[in-house]
Structure 1
Amino acid sequence: MTVRSTGFVAKSLATLLVGGLVAMFSPTTAVAAPEYSTSEAGNPFVDGWYADPDIAVYDGKYWVYPTASKAYAEQTYLDAFSSTDLVHWTKHSNILKAADVSWAKYAVWAPAPVERGGKYYLYFAANDIQNNSQLGGIGVAVADRPEGPYKDALGKPLISQFHNGAQPIDQDVFIDDDGQAYMYYGGWHHSNVVKLNPDMTSLGTFDDGSTYKEITPENYTEGSYMFKRNGKYYFMWSEGGWTGPDYSVSYAMADSPTGPFTKIDKVLAQDPAVAKGSGHNSVVNVPGTDTWYIVYHRRPLSESDGNHRQLAYDRMYFNPDGTIRRIAMQVKDNFADNNALGWKTYGGTWSAGGGQYRVGRGLGGKALLDTDFADFTYDADVTVTSGGGDAGLMFRVSSPAVGWDSYSGYYAGISPSGKVVLGRANGSWTELATARTAVGSNSAHSMRVTAVGSSIKVFVDDMTTPKISVSDGTYRSGANGVRVFDTAASFGNVAIAPAG
C-alpha cells in the first residue's frame, strides 16, 4: 500500500533507506533517519526523459512510476524505478504496454500505484480523449508484484467520460486510515474525487448518492495529488502550461478527504538558475519519521522540447501550523549513485564512481551543469591526482566547447604544488590573481567560490579567509562546472546555492 500518512505501516516491514537514510520500522519500533536536503547524488535521479512521477513504498523499497515523456504516438508503455535508499535506482522496463490494453492506443499517462490485499494496482490514463464520443480515459491494471507485468483489469476504462468538465486524466489514488480508497483526477482546469470500492476496480458513491464530486481549487490545471499528515488532508495540483516555464505546484489543506479545498500557496515553481517547468508531483513520507520529499518533473534550462522532462526530488518541510514551506530546487551531486546525470562534458575522459567524478589528464577537459547562477556559493572537493597543471571550479560560463579556453566565464583552480589561480576566458586566458596554499599528501582540497556582483572570492580548505578576492564584472551569470588543465583530477561533494 502506498505510504502517505504518518503512523501508517506498509504491508511488509523492512529496512528502508540504507546508506545515509535508514529507517527500520515495525508496528512497535521506529528508528529516526538522517535526512537528505535534496537528491544529494544529483537531479535528475534517473536517466531518460520522464514526467508525472508517482511514488510508493512497497516492502522496504521506493517505487517511482512515471510517464514516458515522448510524443503522444510513442507514449505506449510505462517503466518503473525502484530503490532502497533513494540513491541507487533500478529500472524496470515495460511494466505496462498499450499493446496489452485493448482500448489504449497512445498517450499512456501519469501512472498512480497502490497496493491492496496483496495485489498491486496501477491506474493510468490513455488516448487523451477530447470529448465523450472518443474511446479512452482512466484505466486500472493489476499485478502480483510491484514491477509487474501489469494487466488491464477491466477491458475498458474505469472512467471514460467527462464529468463536471474534468478530462479523465492525471489520476491519483489515496487510501485513508479507515480503509476507504479515493481517486482524485482531472484535466482541463477541473478536478473530481470519486470513491473506489474495496475491489479497487469499481466506483462507489457518496452519502448523497453522487459518484463524482468536483473539488476544483483556484488556478487548478491538472496533476491531482493527495496525502495526509497529522490528521490533515493535503491536496496538491499543477497549474500553468505543461510546456511553459510557469508550470508549478500549489496546495490546499482540509479536515476531510473531499474538501473543501482552498488554495494556500504555490510551493514549487521554476528557478531560472536551476530548472523550468517544475510540476506534476507526488510526495513520499519516510516511514517511521516526519521526513518528506516531493517528487516531480522539470525541464533543463537549455532544453526547448516540451517533452524533454526529467525526474527530480527535493526535501519538503512543514511549518509548525502544518502549512508547507516553499520548496527550493537545490543543486548538489556527491556522485554516490556512481553516475554523472545532468553533467555535459567538453573534452577529456570522464567517469563517476566511489563518490568521485574523475577525469584523465588533459588540456582543458570540462564538465558543466545546466545552471545559470549569477550570485552564488559554489563548493566542491578537488583532488589533483597527476600532472603539472591545475584543476578546479568553473562558473558564470557560457558558450562552452572542446578546447583549452573555449568558453566564456571564470575558472578557479589549484595545482599539485598548492598554487591557486583565478582567471577568466573568452577563447583566450586572462589571469586575475594567484595565491598559495598548504598541500597534503594526496593533494585533496575543499574549494569554495563565492560570487556576488563583481566581487569574487576563492577559498581553499580554510572557509573563513579567502585565498583570492578580486573585483571583476565581465561575466554576470552562467553555468557551473569543473575543469582540468594538464592534470588528472577527481571532484566530489558539489553544491551550489544562491548567495545569502
Structure 2
Amino acid sequence: MTIGYWRAAIAVVAATISTTALGQVRTGASPGSNPIIRDKFTADPAPLVVGDRLYLYVGHDEAQRDEMFNMREWLVYSTTDMKHWTDHGPIMKVADFKWAKKDAWASQTIEKNGKFWFYAAVEHDDTHPGKAIAVAVSETPTGPFVDARGSALITNEMTPKGTHSWEDIDPTVFTDDDGTTWIAWGNRQCYIARLKPNMIEIDGPITEITPPHFEEGPWLHKRGALYYLTYASLDRSKHRDEKVSYSTAPSLKGPWTWRGELTGSGKYSFTIHPGIVEYKNNWYLFLHNATLAIGDLNGSIGRRAVTVEHLRYNADGTMKPVVQTDAGVSAPPPR
C-alpha cells in the first residue's frame, strides 16, 4: 500500500475507534485465545514445524505514538500444545544484513539439508534502492542466524515490470515433493521463482502469478494434490482494509484458480498476513490484528498482534471460510 493510503486510514480509525475499544484484550484470557503473544506487539506470522514442536517467526512492531512502522528485529516463539508459547527472543536484527538500512518486515523460515533458512524483506541501502529479500542460515530453528550471502537474494532491479519500489517484500518459501524449493513474494504483483539447491540463488526466470486483488503477504502450502497460494487481498474499489483470499493449482507452475476470500479483515488492522501449517494432524491459520494494548500503547498499523484459528477443508480441497475469534484455539474447531 502507499504511505498516503496508510496515513489516511490511520486518521479514519483515530476518529472512529476509542482508546477503550482498542485496549479491550482480556488480561485473564484462556491459554490459546487471541492474541497469542501479549507482552510484545508482533506481526506477519510464519509457522514452521520441527519434530513435535511448532516454531512461530514474527516481526516485532515497536512503533511509538503515531509512528506507522518501526521494525528492527525478528522474534521466534514455540509451542507443543498451541496454547502455551515459549519466547526464544530475537533471532536477527535488520542491522545483521550489512547492506540493508532498515525495516525488518515479513519473513519465513524453512528447514532443508539439515539447516534452517530464513528469508525476510528489508529496505536495501542506496546501492540498490527499494525493498529487497534477504536470506540467512542457522544450524537450529532458534538461531543464531547469519547472512547467508552477504548481499540480497532479490532486489528491485530484478522485477523491472513492477509498479513501485516496495513490491519485493513478504517472501514465502516452499519445498515441493521432488525436493525443489520455490520462493514467492510481492506487493501488488506476485512473483515466483525456483531456488538453487544451495538455497541462496535464484535458479531460472522470475514469473509473475498475480491472482485477483493481490496486495501482499503470499503463503504457499500443499495439501493432497492441491497447491495453495493464500495472500492478503484488497479490492480497492470496495474496501479499505486487507482481507485474506486464496487460489489453488495442480502444480506450482499453475494454472492458478481463484477461490475467493478465506477470511475478513483483522480487527482494527489495515494489514493482514496469513501463515498456514499442519501440526499434530490439525491445520491452523495464523494472522494478525490490532486489538492488543500494552501499557499506554494501543493497537495500530504499527502495533499489531498475532492470532491463530482452526483451519478446515471441504471434500473438494477448498478451504472453509474462517471467522476470526477471541477464543482462537482455546475453543474446539467449529463443525
TM class by shorter chain equals 0.7 to 0.9
**Could you list the runs of 4 or more consecutive aligned residues of structure 1 that deviate by over 4 angstroms after TM superposition?**
274-278, 301-304
CA contact (8 A) 2:269 2:301 kept: no
The 3 A distance-change label for structure 1 pair 330 and 98 is closer
The 3 A distance-change label for structure 1 pair 333 and 265 is closer
2:304 corresponding residue in structure 1: 309
- State whether structure 2 residue 32 is matched by structure 1 residue 41: yes
* Structural mapping, 1:446-457, within 5 Å: none
Amino acid of the structure 2 residue aligned with 1:247: E
The 3 A distance-change label for structure 1 pair 317 and 40 is farther
SS at match of 1:122: strand
Amino acid of the structure 2 residue aligned with 1:146: P
User: Offset of 1:169 from its aligned partner?
Assistant: 0.5
Taking the aligned partners of 2:113 and 2:247, their CA distance within structure 1 comes to: 30
Taking the aligned partners of 1:120 and 1:301, their CA distance within structure 2 comes to: 31
| Match of residue 124, structure 1, among 94, 111, 120 | 120
Taking the aligned partners of 1:64 and 1:256, their CA distance within structure 2 comes to: 27
Percent identity over the alignment is 30
Taking the aligned partners of 2:208 and 2:179, their CA distance within structure 1 comes to: 22
* Structural mapping, 1:121-200, within 5 Å: 121-127=117-123, 133-134=128-129, 136-162=131-157, 163=159, 164-165=161-162, 167-187=167-187, 189-200=188-199
The 3 A distance-change label for structure 1 pair 73 and 325 is closer
2:222 corresponding residue in structure 1: 228
1:218 corresponding residue in structure 2: 212
| Match of residue 97, structure 1, among 80, 86, 93 | 93
User: Offset of 1:333 from its aligned partner?
Assistant: 7.8
CA contact (8 A) 1:40 1:333 kept: no
The 3 A distance-change label for structure 1 pair 255 and 331 is same
1:480 corresponding residue in structure 2: none
Taking the aligned partners of 1:136 and 1:306, their CA distance within structure 2 comes to: 19
| Match of residue 252, structure 1, among 234, 247, 250 | 247
- State whether structure 2 residue 313 is matched by structure 1 residue 318: yes
- State whether structure 2 residue 228 is matched by structure 1 residue 237: no
1:296 corresponding residue in structure 2: 287
Amino acid of the structure 2 residue aligned with 1:63: Y
Amino acid of the structure 2 residue aligned with 1:41: G
- State whether structure 2 residue 60 is matched by structure 1 residue 68: yes
SS at match of 2:274: strand
User: Offset of 1:330 from its aligned partner?
Assistant: 2.3
Amino acid of the structure 1 residue aligned with 2:272: G
Taking the aligned partners of 2:62 and 2:90, their CA distance within structure 1 comes to: 15
**Under a length normalisation based on structure 1, what TM-score does the superposition of the two structures give?**
0.54
Amino acid of the structure 1 residue aligned with 2:99: W
List runs of 5+ in structure 1 lacking aligned partners.
Answer: 1-38, 206-210, 337-492
**Structure having the higher Rg:** 1
1:52 corresponding residue in structure 2: 44
Output one character per residue of 1:301-346: Cα deviation in whole Å (capped at 9) or x when no partner.
9956211210000011111111111101123289x8xxxxxxxxxx
CA contact (8 A) 2:32 2:82 kept: no
Amino acid of the structure 1 residue aligned with 2:287: Y
CA contact (8 A) 1:234 1:253 kept: yes
SS at match of 2:106: strand
More helix by share: 2
CA contact (8 A) 1:193 1:258 kept: no
1:285 corresponding residue in structure 2: 278
* Structural mapping, 1:350-365, within 5 Å: none
The 3 A distance-change label for structure 1 pair 282 and 161 is same
The 3 A distance-change label for structure 1 pair 43 and 241 is farther
The 3 A distance-change label for structure 1 pair 121 and 301 is closer
Taking the aligned partners of 2:131 and 2:291, their CA distance within structure 1 comes to: 31
Taking the aligned partners of 2:113 and 2:263, their CA distance within structure 1 comes to: 35
The structure whose RCO (Cα within 8 Å, separation 6+) is larger is 2
The 3 A distance-change label for structure 1 pair 299 and 240 is farther
User: Offset of 1:121 from its aligned partner?
Assistant: 0.7
User: Offset of 1:128 from its aligned partner?
Assistant: 7.0
Q: How many residues align?
A: 288
* Structural mapping, 1:416-435, within 5 Å: none
More strand by share: 1
CA contact (8 A) 1:121 1:142 kept: yes
Taking the aligned partners of 2:303 and 2:323, their CA distance within structure 1 comes to: 21
Amino acid of the structure 1 residue aligned with 2:58: P
Amino acid of the structure 2 residue aligned with 1:180: T
